[in-house]
Chains A and B, each alone.
Chain A
Amino acid sequence: MTRKKRRLLVLLVCGIGLGSATALTLSAFSDNLVFFVSPSSLAKMGPSGRQVRLGGLVEQGTVEKSSGGQAGARFKVTDGNASVLVTFKGILPDLFREGQGVVVLGVDQTDGVFRASEVLAKHDETYMPKEVADALKKSGRWNPAAGPPPPASTWNQSATKPPG
């Protein structure tokens, strides 16, 4: 075996070892690597009094903006199976709306209300021009409050101008 072949072999073996060690570590800690928990898993955990991040979609028809002098809102965050009532005092991000993904930081109280100290809007991987969104809404193919838009392949050809 030449020295080059030996070096190649050593590097490959080290790579495989390091790769599998990292994969095992990451899969062992994958519960701690999540940025937020879903309403279902929050319900399973029960109120702990600890600060957690809760992520999900803003449930349709549940948003009540507070009417008093202070900015704030009550809304439900859902993942389709469970939903959690969230109260928040403060300014909501611009992208906040019904059907939008959000991540809220706060404490799950024993009374079943999640008091949020921070609301972040999560946006999905779909990028579409305003005209396309309007056309989809008008034709009844998509309701932004109800869920994510239809796949891009269904509207990309019909609704946008060809490139160039």
Chain B
Amino acid sequence: MDARSSVAPPRTGKTLHRFANPGQFLRTSGKVLPWLFWVGALLTVAGVIWGLFFAPDDWQQGDTVRIMYVHVPFAWLASAGYFSLAACCFVSLVWRHPLADLAAAEIGPVGAGFTAICLATGSLWGKPTWGTWWVWDARLTSVLVLFLLYLGHIALVRAFDDPTRGYRAGAILALVGVINLPIIKFSVDWWNTLHQPASIGLMGAPTIASSMLWPLLFSAFGFTLLFIAITIARTRAAVMERRIRSLLMARASSPGGEEIPL
């Protein structure tokens, strides 16, 4: 790895630190990224086409149920993305890993985008089924809070001149916001809401026909791989941007214009 890199010096010997080494990260992620992207794109296209054109109508919602094949994966990823953001922030606060800082800052906008699409498709689904675009029930409100937490994190990590302070403040905000995740998940069980409870759970059989469940699982898995691929691509770009910046600064400050190979 480049000794001049501004990101942490590699620590050898420990398993986790090997992956946190930015040079190692760039090499490994560069190999994995095309696979993630293409497999994710393939599964997404297959799942969405299956869901939109071949899966059966719901007995009472008719064709409207097809919004599910987009809405549900984005809803899952909105929460899962926040969890991964918080995990990065935790690693950053405890072990001070610069790569975790970069990853957290890059997950934010992706997660916010996914949450926005979840809210928009949910609203489009709510109008024909419930009869309203929006209600302030516990599920919808807690997802809106999740969206605002993402926006807060995005703004906070970029609000300081010293990036390290921004990462620190953003990490604390993100970890406080984790309390919202169980609220989102269990809001439909703890309180009565307009939103229906989960159809698919770890415990108990799903309450969705298997002819509708399979395309949903395909598109959910595909969108998940795409989420990971986008996040990794953004984090790679951030690592490289940092390296270039530190090289340029080193070149500018080196006396006599000494050539530093990029």
Name A residues whose Cβ lies closer than 8 Å to a Cβ of B: 4, 7-8, 11, 14-15, 18-19, 22, 26, 30, 33-36, 38, 55, 92-95, 97, 103, 118-134, 151-153, 155-156, 159-164
A125 near B197: Cβ-Cβ < 8 Å: yes
B183 near A11: Cβ-Cβ < 8 Å: no
Interface of A is mostly: mixed
Interface of B is mostly: loop
Shortest beta-carbon distance from B90 to chain A in Å = 7
What mask results when residues 169 to 211 of chain B are scored 1 for a CB within 8 Å of chain A, else 0?
Answer: 0000001101100010000001111101111000001111111
A129 near B94: Cβ-Cβ < 8 Å: no
- Please give, as numbers and ranges, the residues of chain B lying within 8 Å of A121 by CB-CB distance: 129-131
- Please give, as numbers and ranges, the residues of chain A lying within 8 Å of B211 by CB-CB distance: 129, 160-161, 163
Give complex CA distance A85, B174 in Å: 47
A126 near B190: Cβ-Cβ < 8 Å: no
Is the C-beta of B104 less than 8 angstroms from some C-beta in chain A?
A: no
Is the C-beta of B93 less than 8 angstroms from some C-beta in chain A?
A: yes
Give complex CA distance A163, B131 in Å: 33
B207 near A35: Cβ-Cβ < 8 Å: no
Shortest beta-carbon distance from B177 to chain A in Å = 10
Chain A residue at smallest Cβ distance from B179? A22
Is the C-beta of B212 less than 8 angstroms from some C-beta in chain A?
A: yes
Give complex CA distance A26, B191 in Å: 10
A125 near B198: Cβ-Cβ < 8 Å: yes
Give complex CA distance A109, B197 in Å: 31
Is the C-beta of B56 less than 8 angstroms from some C-beta in chain A?
A: yes
A123 near B60: Cβ-Cβ < 8 Å: yes
A120 near B58: Cβ-Cβ < 8 Å: no
Give complex CA distance A132, B95 in Å: 54
Query: Contacts A34-B191, A94-B128 given: A129-B90 contact, CB under 8 Å?
Result: no
- Please give, as numbers and ranges, the residues of chain B lying within 8 Å of A155 by CB-CB distance: 209
Picked from A11, A15, A120, A161, the residue with its CB within 8 Å of the CB of B194 is A120
Picked from A7, A26, A123, A161, the residue with its CB within 8 Å of the CB of B93 is A7
Give complex CA distance A30, B189 in Å: 12
A93 near B58: Cβ-Cβ < 8 Å: no
Picked from B59, B94, B191, the residue with its CB within 8 Å of the CB of A8 is B94
B residues 71-106 near A (Cβ < 8 Å) are: 90, 93-95
